[in-house]
Structure 1
Amino acid sequence: MTTQLWTDAVALEAVPDEDVMAAAVLGRELAFYGVDGQVYVTDNICTHGHARLSDGFLEGTEIECPLHQGKFDVCSGKAMCAPLTVDIRTYPVKIENGRVYVDLGDI
Structure 2
Amino acid sequence: MPWIPACSLDSIESEGVARFDHAGRTYAVYRSASDEVFCTDGLCTHEAIHLSDGMVMDYEIECPKHSGVFDIRTGEAKRLPACVNLRTYPARLDGGMVVIDIG
TM-score normalised to structure 2 length: 0.90
Q: Which amino acid aligns with 1:86?
A: V
Is 1:22 aligned to residue 7 of structure 2?
no
Q: CA deviation at 1:30?
A: 1.2
Aligned 8 A contact 2:43 2:49 in 1: yes
- Structure 1: runs of 5 or more not aligned: none
Determine helix, strand or coil for the equivalent of 2:93. strand
Determine helix, strand or coil for the equivalent of 1:80. strand
Is 1:32 aligned to residue 29 of structure 2?
yes
- Structure 2: runs of 5 or more not aligned: none
Query: How far apart are the structure 2 equivalents of 1:37 and 1:31?
Result: 15
Number of residue-to-residue matches in the alignment: 102
| Counterpart in the other structure of 1:41 | 39
Query: How far apart are the structure 2 equivalents of 1:59 and 1:5?
Result: 30
TM-score normalised to structure 1 length: 0.87
Deviations 1:5-32 (A, max 9, x none): 3112212221221111112133321111
* Structural RMSD (CA): 1.3
Give aligned-pair identity as a percent: 39
Q: Larger C-alpha radius of gyration, 1 or 2? A: 1
Query: How far apart are the structure 1 equivalents of 2:6 and 2:83?
Result: 29
Q: Which amino acid aligns with 2:59?
A: T
Query: How far apart are the structure 2 equivalents of 1:89 and 1:39?
Result: 15
Aligned 8 A contact 2:26 2:42 in 1: yes
Aligned 8 A contact 2:9 2:31 in 1: no
